[in-house]
Amino acid sequence: MPEKRHFRAIKGTRDILPPDSSLWNWFEESARDVFEAYNFREIRLPIFEQTELFARSIGTHTDIVAKEMFTFEDRPGSLPDPRKSVLVDDYMALLEDLLKRGELPNSEANRSILSQLREKMVEKQLANRNIGRGSGMPIRLEEYNKLALECAYLASVIELGELLTLRPEATASVCRAYVEHSMHALPGDQKLYYIGPMFRRERPQKGRYRQFYQIGAEVLGQSDAPVIDAEVLEMLLVFFHRVGLTRTTLYVNSIGDKNCRPQYVELLRSELQRVKNSLKEDSQRRIETNPLRVLDSKIPEEQPIIEKLPRISDHLCADCRAHFAKLKDELKLRNIAYEENWRLVRGLDYYTRTTFEVIAEGLGSQNAVCGGGRYDGLVELLGGQPTKGIGFAIGSDRSILSIQETGAAPPVHPLNVYVAWMGAKAYPAAVGIARKLRSHGLTVELPPEEMKLKKSLGLADKLGARYALILGEDEAASHTFTLKRLADAAQKTLTENELLEYLESEQRGSRA
Ligand code: HAM
């Protein structure tokens, strides 16, 4: 037996245990209900994709791509060391098989390396045979070692598999899937939602994890009408209302499009150059790489400087200005309260025009519970037809934290009945009634071992059961059950039909 060893969840990941998991299920089910009422349909996406997909979509200078992605090489598990392989044919057959099966990229470079490797392996094999023969052995050994090293070098430059990344977000994947499955040819706009884990190598803290969960929704199609933006925001806020997340603020902005943003970015860059020496290192770097991100700075000393910078709202082209004005009208029509925030530029490069975020109270610095915006042009960047897009992603971890802290969480998953059975003769009846009650939608706990009544009732109480169903040999003989309400110890004896009728009417009452 190997020695005992304890394991812990990796830093920034965590287990979601019961009863919290019930809250999570309720949260996700509520999203499904609301989103499906708006005619969104679920898309299930892979957890990892080519690194290039995220680099292209999110932008190479963003924090996510530059610092936070979990990336790995898709290398075959068994690329053997050629120094240890003496039989050329076996070794080369193995590599060629990996190439054929697509486990190694079948590139020109790899094919050339493989043919050089074959030659060197043959030389090495011959040298190996000669080592022990006659005089001059040290020289032959040296020759053999040199060839072995050359083989190892050639094997080390074989191109391994592609770079893959655990998804840091899912908008890029949705667009990739849209192109891959020619979804532009389907009727109407594609309205898709997804639920699942995302991965970013951020510094963990309250509300910030390395594996976190998002519920996202995206609309892809031919129209960029602001009505779509407004309906997406309406759906988002209806969902937040449904789950009791109401102490929130919606911030909206327009960051222009390819006609007006480049001029604004240049203006911003030149203004930032003028004040460069008063900015901290990160912002100084961003002047070159991504000046818009300077607006996102939270550093107190930088705030008065940023407040004086030119604002995008004064530099939008006529089309973008009209788009933003119409969006605001549409929000008013829907009674959606919002605040304009000219500094809301978002940390991903794919956005155009509308951007938005929802902030919740009481979460400290990680208080954004949702972020989103328009990304017309992203599908094209990924090889698709010109397509408009808008969407958002809700951070489930933070939203649920906020719901728990404000006490809005509903009671979930009650234990309706605990079957306190005693005696071998009562056991078959206990198994039968447990299955029947469960098939009528009740949650039932059937203890696997017989217990004394007092102990059984004590456990039922600790588990939070509403009723204990007492089933001894007497009850089994008379085909009756004793139902005890644990809150007040009220007790009645019932036949099976009476029992079902009673519990079902109770259940209906508690749902009403
Ligand atoms: P995002 O703003 O990067 O946008 O993430 C959306 C939400 O995910 C954040 O508001 C936050 O609640 C949550 N979140 C992000 N990182 C973490 C983390 N490390 N720990 C816990 N929660 C986190 C996007 O991901 C875009 N794909 C949204 C979008 C969809 N835009 C258009 N469509």
Ligand 1 centroid from CA 302, angstroms: 25
Decide if pLDDT at 44 tops 70: yes
- Strands 190-199 and 211-221: what pairing? antiparallel
Q: What integer pLDDT is reported at residue 325 of this predicted model?
A: 98
Does the Cβ of 293 fall within 6 Å of ligand 1?
no
Q: Would you state the pLDDT for residue 150?
A: 86
Lowest mean pLDDT among 149-153, 366-370, 417-421, 444-448: 149-153
Rounded Cα distance between 177 and 16, Å, is 29
| pLDDT over 60 (residue 174) | yes
CB 30 within 8 A of CB 355: no
| CB-ligand 1 contact for 216 (6 Å cutoff) | yes
CA of 169 to the centre of ligand 1 (A): 7
Mean pLDDT (the chain, rounded): 92
Contacts of 237 (CB under 8 A, 6+ apart): 250, 336
**What is the 3-state secondary structure of 180-206?**
HCCHHHCCCCEEEEEEEEEECCCCCEC
Task: Indicate which residue's Cα is closest to atom 2 of ligand 1.
Answer: 371
Can you give the pLDDT at residue 317? 98
Angle at which helices 51-58 and 171-180 pack, to 10 degrees?
110
Q: Is the pLDDT of residue 512 over 60?
A: no
> Sorting pLDDT into bands at 50, 70 and 90, what band is 302?
very high
Q: Evaluate if residue 78 carries a pLDDT over 70.
A: no
Ligand 1, pocket-test mutation among 214, 348, 363, most atoms within 8 A of CB: 214
Amino acid in the structure at residue 362: G
- Mean pLDDT along residues 262-282: 95
Q: Verify whether ligand 1 is closer than 6 Å to residue 401 (CB atom).
A: no
pTM of the model: 0.87
Question: What pLDDT, on a 0 to 100 scale, did the predictor assign at position 412?
Answer: 67
State if residue 409 touches ligand 1 by the CB under 6 angstroms criterion.
Answer: no
Task: Indicate whether residue 209 lines ligand 1 (CB < 6 A).
Answer: yes
CB distance 256 to ligand 1 below 6 Å: no
How close is the Cα of 24 to the center of ligand 1, in Å? 17
| 161 vs 114, more confident | 114
Of 385, 372, 375, residue with least CA distance to 57: 375
How far apart are the C-alpha atoms of 144 and 150, rounded to whole Å?
10
* Side-chain-facing half-sphere of 41: CA atoms under 13 Å: 4
Alpha carbon 57 to its chain centroid, in Å, reads: 17
| Residue with CA at minimum distance from ligand 1 atom 10 | 370
Mean pLDDT of 241-257: 96
Tell me what percent of the residues of the chain surpass a pLDDT of 90.
75
Give the pLDDT band (50/70/90) at residue 10: very high
Confidence band of 140 (pLDDT split at 50, 70, 90): confident
Residue 68: is its pLDDT beyond 60?
Answer: yes
Pair 416, 485: CB distance under 8 Å: no
31 CA from centroid of ligand 1 (Å): 16
- Residue minimizing CA distance to atom 31 of ligand 1: 372
Protein residue with its CA nearest to atom 23 in ligand 1: 395
Residue-level pLDDT at 42: 98
Which of 56-60, 208-212, 252-256, 401-405 comes out lowest in average pLDDT? 401-405
376 lines ligand 1 (CB under 6 A): no
